Amino acid sequence: MDVDAGDARSVAVGFAAGLAVLVGLYSVVGLGDVAAALSRADPVVVAGVGVVAVGWLTAWSLALRTVLGVIAVEVSVRQAFLLFAGATFANNVTPFGQAGGEPFSALLVSRSTGVPYEKGLAAVASVDTLNFVPSVSFALVGVGYYATRFTVGERVEFAVLALAALALGIPAAAYLAWRSRDGVASLAVGLLVPVSRALGRVVPSADTPDEAGVRRRIEGFFAALERVADDRRGLAVALAFSALGWLLLSSSLWLSLLALGHAVPFAAALFIVPLGSVAGVTPLPGGLGGVEAALVLLVVPVAGVDPATAGAAAVIHRGATYWFPILLGASATAMLGANGALESASD
């Protein structure tokens, strides 16, 4: 994945903003109290959080491998893991979460496998869409269990309303967009062609595809999506891996709290993690600062712990599911890029 000076500056500015939000959050919570809570964490359980994070990456990489297989792109388990780690890296260093990282992730898939870009984008988009289903399902289960066992406060009520809005709104929007895909394709062509021509005037070296070329790529994208949607067995397998990934992500937060001496109901983690991840769509890289704030705001009333403990749990959980994937994904992206260069040189 090529990164020019402008991209690097954008990433640097984004991280600076995210770190500022993070510092502000922990200043309010109490840096000293959070550090004290972290110093009492059980190192064995913290190590378990890291193991669970690797399991989550593996599960979702297998979902990506399954979807790629549906569109006739065969990759090994190792290559799928590297691809998903690279995609996670892209999501974590670009604003607006998956929405910002998908184009870069698709480019990585395309260059690493030789599949056309639009098919790579369809595979990445399909996995992101499939991941939504179990996240909402588990969150609803968690909310239902929690509501029957504990008193629901105002903050939790707001979280439940947000979950209900997501559960209804996103599928409805996706369904309407899919039913009107021909119109969406025409709209996309109408927007992309003038933009690409304007870019070509500013950057002479940039490719400026004609209208037919853009339409062909968009149609190829929708054709790949249809192929995935029509393969029920592939969808079922990919959903199973996605569900396993969400269970492991929830386990990461649950173990983070356990490491600090708080054994909370697992159902609490089941709906805190999906709701907290919604903050990843903020214009901060990977939701840096925003996700941590959401976790603290949800963990305190739901798990019944003090803000310092919630902040410390967020540090452990995000260390395993945000910072570790950034390091791993950067290495994976470099490895895939080096492999691609070697293959090109040998042709």
Express each pLDDT in 119-141 by its tens digit: 888 888 888 888 888 888 888 77
Whether 40 is covered by a domain: the verdict is yes
d(CA 14, CA 2): 18
HEC assignment per residue over the chain: CCCCHHHHHHHHHHHHHHHHHHHHHHHHHCHHHHHHHHHCCCHHHHHHHHHHHHHHHHHHHHHHHHHHHHCCCCCCHHHHHHHHHHHHHHHHHCCCHHHHHHHHHHHHHHHHHCCCHHHHHHHHHHHHHHHHHHHHHHHHHHHHHHHHHCCCCHHHHHHHHHHHHHHHHHHHHHHHHHHCHHHHHHHHHHHHHHHHHHHHHHCCCCCCCCHHHHHHHHHHHHHHHHHHHHCHHHHHHHHHHHHHHHHHHHHHHHHHHHHCCCCCCHHHHHHHHHHHHHHHHCCCHHHCCHHHHHHHHHHHHHHHCCHHHHHHHHHHHHHHHHHHHHHHHHHHHHHHHHHHHHHHHHC
Question: What is the share, in percent, of the chain residues with pLDDT greater than 70?
Answer: 74
Whether 212 is covered by a domain: the verdict is no
Q: Which domain holds residue 80?
A: 10-154+235-346
Whether 5 is covered by a domain: the verdict is no
Lowest mean pLDDT among 2-11, 25-34, 162-171, 234-243: 2-11
pLDDT band for position 255 (cuts 50, 70, 90): very high
Report pLDDT for 124: 87
Lowest mean pLDDT among 77-86, 136-145, 202-211: 202-211
The angle formed by the CA atoms of residues 120, 122 and 124, to the nearest 5 degrees, is: 70
Report pLDDT for 312: 97
Express each pLDDT in 46-56 by its tens digit: 999 999 999 99
pLDDT band for position 341 (cuts 50, 70, 90): very low
Count, residues in the chain: 347
Report pLDDT for 7: 60
5 or 143, which is more confident:
143
For residue 326, which phi and psi values (nearest 5 degrees)?
-65, -45
Q: How many domains does the chain have?
A: 1
Express each pLDDT in 9-41 by its tens digit: 777 888 888 899 999 999 999 999 999 999 999
108 or 45, which is more confident:
45
- The token duo for 325 is 């994937």
Express each pLDDT in 103-118 by its tens digit: 888 888 888 888 888 8
| CA nearest to 238, candidates 140, 331, 124, 104 | 124
Report pLDDT for 12: 81
Whether 211 is covered by a domain: the verdict is no
d(CA 225, CA 152): 40
Report pLDDT for 205: 46
Whether 165 is covered by a domain: the verdict is no
**CB of 136 within 8 A of CB of 166?**
yes
Express each pLDDT in 278-302 by its tens digit: 777 777 888 899 899 989 988 998 8
A 10 A CB-CB count for 299 gives 28
Whether 4 is covered by a domain: the verdict is no
Question: What is the share, in percent, of the chain residues with pLDDT greater than 90?
Answer: 36
Whether 47 is covered by a domain: the verdict is yes
Averaged pLDDT score across all residues of the chain: 81
Lowest mean pLDDT among 42-51, 114-123, 222-231, 322-331: 222-231
Whether 250 is covered by a domain: the verdict is yes
Report pLDDT for 33: 95
pLDDT band for position 6 (cuts 50, 70, 90): low
Report pLDDT for 116: 86
